[in-house]
């Protein structure tokens, strides 16, 4: 009998001791985790972030509350500061285009070389490969974040207020807004344009006033942001670059969650990425018709015209391949070549 009482007492003591431990683990979770996106949910990119946050909230019963801050508002609209702000603890969750973060970690820009991806078939082949899920993810981890999933920002197109852009010479003298990537600037200056680096928040009034003649973005952004109302009359759908949409968590935040919650968050990101890619592809299939319906002149280059663009950007491609991560990009090129034969 005495032994039975001792066992019961020990069990009760264990329960009492264990309860504070459980509470402590729960209390380590924050009331809110801040996620930065450059655009709001009206855009496919921002929608991907919204879906991700909602799925995590639902699947953890509100235990992990990821709040979206669109407009890169956590860094005063300066999207090129997102990754460094994540390292500083200002941002907890990233849902963005790595091209914006190359000034912090250059290797993150491996997908953005000019005319690297000829089409979505090639893009899908690379994103599903070990080059991305292992090699690239290792780069992200070393840089300070846990990569969860890959979405798509979309093929970038060019628009302007002056004239149709059919050949490289047509860019001569145009003042064009580009994201904060020296490589994108070099692509444009190599064709005679005058690149201007500015945030998207600053770009819109600059286009409206005529201080800037041109911009480059997926046509989905052109439509959602109503860029035709900013004096942009001509579009060329040249598919010159397509970046991923990376879902990632700051390493200290990731390590503070239980393995069970990490699994839930990773699966939520993967599900959100799939939905986001489907949305991007639907918009891509419709964009020429929808942009043309706004009274904008849209040019879709022929294979011969695309070849001219590729030749003109060849030197920039080689230079930045060497600077970013030549071995990883070579692997990507091999996968793309195989996708052409499949």
| CATH 3.40.50.1100 applies to domain 30-153+243-285 | no
CB 102 within 8 A of CB 241: no
Average the pLDDT over 10-18 and give the result. 43
Residue 5 has pLDDT above 90, yes or no: no
pTM comes to: 0.89
Q: pLDDT digit string (tens) for 70-104?
A: 999 999 999 999 999 999 999 999 999 999 999 99
Which of 160, 154, 301, 155 is CA-nearest to residue 227?
A: 160
Return the ∠ at Cα 319 (arms to 315 and 324), rounded to 5°.
Answer: 145
Q: How high is the mean pLDDT of the chain? A: 92
Q: pLDDT digit string (tens) for 264-297?
A: 999 999 999 999 999 999 999 999 999 999 999 9
Q: Could you tell me where in the chain the CATH 3.40.190.170 domains are found?
A: 30-153+243-285, 157-241+288-341
Which residues have CB under 8 Å from 223's CB, separation 6+? 283, 287, 290, 291
**Alpha carbons within 13 A on the beta-carbon side of 42:** 10
Task: Give the long-range contacts of residues 320-328, CB within 8 A, separation 24 or more.
Answer: 320/109, 320/113, 320/183, 320/186, 321/113, 323/106, 324/102, 324/106, 324/107, 324/109, 324/110, 324/113, 325/107, 325/110, 325/139, 328/107, 328/110, 328/131, 328/135, 328/136
pLDDT score at 28: 84
Residue 116 has pLDDT above 90, yes or no: yes
Which of 36, 45, 44, 86 is CA-nearest to residue 66?
A: 36
DSSP 3-state of 164 = coil
Q: Kindly state the helix (H) or strand (E) to which residue 251 belongs, with its residue range.
A: helix 251-256
pLDDT score at 16: 41
Cα 64 from Cα 247, distance rounded (Å): 16
Cα 46 from Cα 124, distance rounded (Å): 21
CB 149 within 8 A of CB 247: yes
Which residues have CB under 8 Å from 267's CB, separation 6+? 59
CATH of domain 157-241+288-341: 3.40.190.170
Residue 17 has pLDDT above 50, yes or no: no
């Amino acid at each position: 009998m005495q032994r039975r009482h001792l066992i019961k007492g020990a069990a009760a003591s264990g329960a009492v001791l264990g309860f504070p431990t459980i509470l402590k683990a729960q209390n380590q979770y924050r009331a809110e985790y801040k996620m930065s996106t450059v655009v709001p949910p009206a855009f496919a990119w921002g929608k991907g972030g919204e879906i991700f946050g909602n799925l995590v909230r639902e699947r953890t019963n509100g235990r992990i509350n990821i709040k979206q801050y669109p407009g890169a508002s956590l860094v005063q609209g300066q999207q090129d500061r997102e990754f460094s702000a994540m390292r500083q603890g200002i941002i907890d969750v990233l849902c963005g285009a790595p091209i914006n973060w190359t000034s912090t970690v250059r290797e993150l820009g491996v997908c953005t070389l000019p005319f690297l991806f000829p089409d979505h078939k090639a893009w899908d082949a690379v994103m599903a490969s070990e080059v991305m899920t292992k090699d690239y993810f290792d780069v992200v981890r070393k840089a300070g974040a846990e990569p969860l999933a890959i979405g798509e920002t979309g093929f970038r197109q060019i628009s302007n207020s002056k004239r149709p852009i059919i050949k490289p010479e047509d860019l001569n003298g145009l003042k064009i807004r580009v994201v904060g990537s020296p490589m994108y600037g070099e692509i444009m200056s190599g064709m005679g344009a005058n690149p201007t680096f500015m945030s998207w928040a600053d770009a819109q009034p600059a286009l409206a006033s005529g201080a800037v003649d041109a911009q480059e973005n997926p046509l989905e952004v052109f439509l959602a942001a109503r860029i035709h109302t900013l004096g942009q009359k001509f579009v060329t759908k040249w598919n010159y670059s397509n970046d991923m949409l990376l879902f990632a968590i700051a390493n200290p935040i990731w390590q503070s969650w239980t393995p069970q919650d990490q699994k839930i968050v990773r699966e939520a990101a993967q599900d959100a990425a799939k939905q986001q890619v489907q949305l991007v592809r639907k918009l891509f299939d419709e964009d020429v018709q929808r942009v043309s319906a706004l009274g904008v002149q849209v040019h879709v280059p022929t294979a011969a015209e695309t070849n001219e663009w590729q030749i003109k950007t060849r030197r920039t491609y080689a230079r930045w391949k060497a600077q970013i991560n030549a071995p990883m990009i070579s692997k990507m090129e091999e996968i793309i070549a195989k996708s052409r034969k499949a």
